[in-house]
Amino acid sequence: MKRQTIQASNVLAILVVFGFLGCEPVENPSVAPQSSPSGQMVSARTPSTSIAPSRPQRLPNRTPQTILIASFNIQAFGEEKVKDPWVMERIVSVIQLFDIVAIQEVRAKDQTLIPRLLSQVNARGARYDYLIGPRLGRSVSKEQYAYIFDTTKVVTSLDASYTIEDGADLLHREPLVARFVTRVPPNIRPFTFSLVNIHTDPDEVKQELPVMHSVLKGIREFEYLSAREDDVILMGDLNASPKQFGTLAQMPGIYWTVDDEPTNTIRKSTYDNIIFDRGLTNEYTGRSGVLDLCDIFAIKTEEAVRISDHLPIWAEFTVIEQSTVENSQFVGLNGPTERR
Amino acid sequence: MTDTKQLIEYAQHPELALQNLAELLALLESNDETIQNYSSEALENCGPPRPEDIPFLCQQLKSRKSSSVYWASTLLGRLGSGTLSTTEVTDLQASLTTAIADTSLELSARERAAWAICELGQEVSSNRDLLEKELQMAAPRLKRFIESALALGQKK
């Protein structure tokens, strides 16, 4: 199986993106400070002896007509978790529920962690592969973004993946962008889309969120100019609820899948989201949600936090590219807008 | 000696992390990556420090270790505005400014010290000259934070 690791030499410098970033204000004093989660909410459910997850009502089945995309901050995913079979079996089970999982918080110098996770995901014949970005962050503990995806449902390539270059140094961990194409029969137009994997620094949400609309706008423009791609989906741990989105929430057509439902495991705060232009990305079926680890594994919260302090979030899309109305926001970027 | 399981407990329970800040800061220097990661995770999740830990954190700002300065600044910055007295913030600003000017520290630690001054939200009244001097030489990100710090109290 081909290993897809983004080396520093392969990271594309997208100056057009950062031309936009550099022009934006850095401060937004109106953003409320983050509160820290505290306390424990313990589920009354009886723990199950089986690790096979019971599919929650709201999570649709995987079908040939749709793809399920998830984002999962696997809190400090490192050697300690990889060597814990109880945790790993459940992380593997979560990944197998989806066609693509955008992962945050891979924390290890050892670059075999994701391959070891993948080998467990594929142990029973599944055909997932992965993409992983460079180690990022300002503190001693660096993190990597990764994508794990089912190659029977989607394809990507190293050439279509990059870590954005934050020339103005506005972000703690620069997003990892990856373009995907669904696998469909030859006479059907596949859904093509770009995912943007992000994890903000909880202490610098006030600095990072106000530039997030510029990050998304810059990536969207770059993706459109370079690949005629207009389906750009920002997903990850923003450490903020939509109430704190500010200018990001004011972008025309912007849509987020998690409004006020908590996404941390103790069910206190909304940190994670999946964000896109619903007018352009009308492949979205309207189905999305937060996957409750306590529900799917019938475990208590105090056990679920062993897996992660975040819950996976997900959204469903069709595998077929849908036609969209001409979108004025791309007119003028490169002549008349022409949909792929 | 703290083991990994204990650190995971700290990462999952902010109150435990706050009771063991000195230990966590020391463990950031560990050669064991797992210890480092969970120490960082615990500090990321623990929220603002307890009042009784503030003197210890101020002392840490004088450390030669960038990770200690980085996290002491982060924790002190989380206190935000209005928690400390004007005098206490003024004293803190002096220590944070000294850290900003210490070029032997990693840039990220100096940036976080400047960020903390901004978070504390009080007009900079001590070491202002030193901050203005640093402004001339600072890297872009540090410069932005220093500019914001120097602008405190002048925005209304």
DSSP for residue A329: G
Span B81-89, mean pLDDT? 93
Closest to A36 (Cβ–Cβ): which among B47, B70, B74? Answer: B47
ipTM: 0.92
| Chain A residues whose C-beta sits inside 8 Å of any chain B C-beta | 26-27, 33, 35-38, 75-76, 78-80, 107-110, 138-141, 168-170, 202-204, 207, 305-306, 309
Parse chain A into domains and list their residue ranges: 60-324
Q: Hey, what are A311's tokens?
A: 């819950």
**Is residue A46 helix, strand or coil?**
coil
Our CA dihedral for A307, A311, A316, A319, rounded to 10 degrees, sits at -40
Give the model's pLDDT for residue A141: 87
pLDDT at B115 over 90: yes
Interface contact A138-B70, CB threshold 8 A: yes
Q: What is the DSSP string of A246-315?
A: GGGTTSTTEEES-SSS--BTTS----EEEEEETTT-TTEEEEEEE--HHHHHT--HHHHHHH-SB--EEE
pLDDT at A112 over 80: yes
Q: List chain B residues with CB under 8 Å of A139.
A: 40, 67, 70-71, 108
Span A105-122, mean pLDDT? 96
Give the model's pLDDT for residue B3: 84
Interface contact A139-B108, CB threshold 8 A: yes
Give the model's pLDDT for residue A44: 30
Give the model's pLDDT for residue A329: 58
pLDDT at A49 over 70: no
Give the model's pLDDT for residue A50: 54
Averaging pLDDT over each range in A6-10, A192-196, B5-9, B31-35, which range is the top one?
A192-196
Q: List chain B residues with CB under 8 Å of A107.
A: 37
**Is residue B23 helix, strand or coil?**
helix
Our CA dihedral for B96, B99, B105, B109, rounded to 10 degrees, sits at 10
Which band of pLDDT confidence, cut at 50, 70 and 90, is reported for residue A6? very low
Interface contact A169-B140, CB threshold 8 A: yes
pLDDT at A38 over 50: no
User: Checking DSSP bridges between strand A128-132 and strand A4-5, what pairing results, if any?
Assistant: parallel
N-term to C-term CA, chain A: 30
Residue position matching structure tokens 């109290």 = B153
Interface contact A305-B144, CB threshold 8 A: no
Superfamily of domain A60-324 in the CATH hierarchy: Endonuclease/exonuclease/phosphatase (3.60.10.10)
Distance from the A313 Cα atom to the nearest Cα atom in chain B, whole angstroms: 20
Closest to B70 (Cβ–Cβ): which among A107, A139, A168? Answer: A139
Q: Which of A198, A304, A168, A38 is nearest to B141 (CA)?
A: A168
Chain A contact probe: residue of B31, B32, B37 with most A CBs at under 10 A: B37
The more confidently predicted of residues A255 and A9 is: A255
**Is residue A198 helix, strand or coil?**
strand
Q: Hey, what are A8's tokens?
A: 């520093």
pLDDT at A73 over 60: yes
Give the model's pLDDT for residue A159: 82
Give the model's pLDDT for residue B111: 97
Chain A contact probe: residue of B16, B38, B44, B147 with most A CBs at under 10 A: B44
Give the model's pLDDT for residue B133: 93
DSSP for residue A166: -
CB distance from B95 to chain A under 8 Å? no
Interface contact B33-A33, CB threshold 8 A: no
Q: Hey, what are A316's tokens?
A: 């469903």
Search chain B and give the residue with CA nearest A309: B12
Over pLDDT 90: what percentage of chain A? 75
CA angle A237/A241/A245 to nearest 5° reads: 95
pLDDT at B132 over 50: yes
pLDDT at A330 over 80: no
Which band of pLDDT confidence, cut at 50, 70 and 90, is reported for residue B105? very high
**Is residue A220 helix, strand or coil?**
helix
Q: What value does the mean pLDDT of chain A take?
A: 83
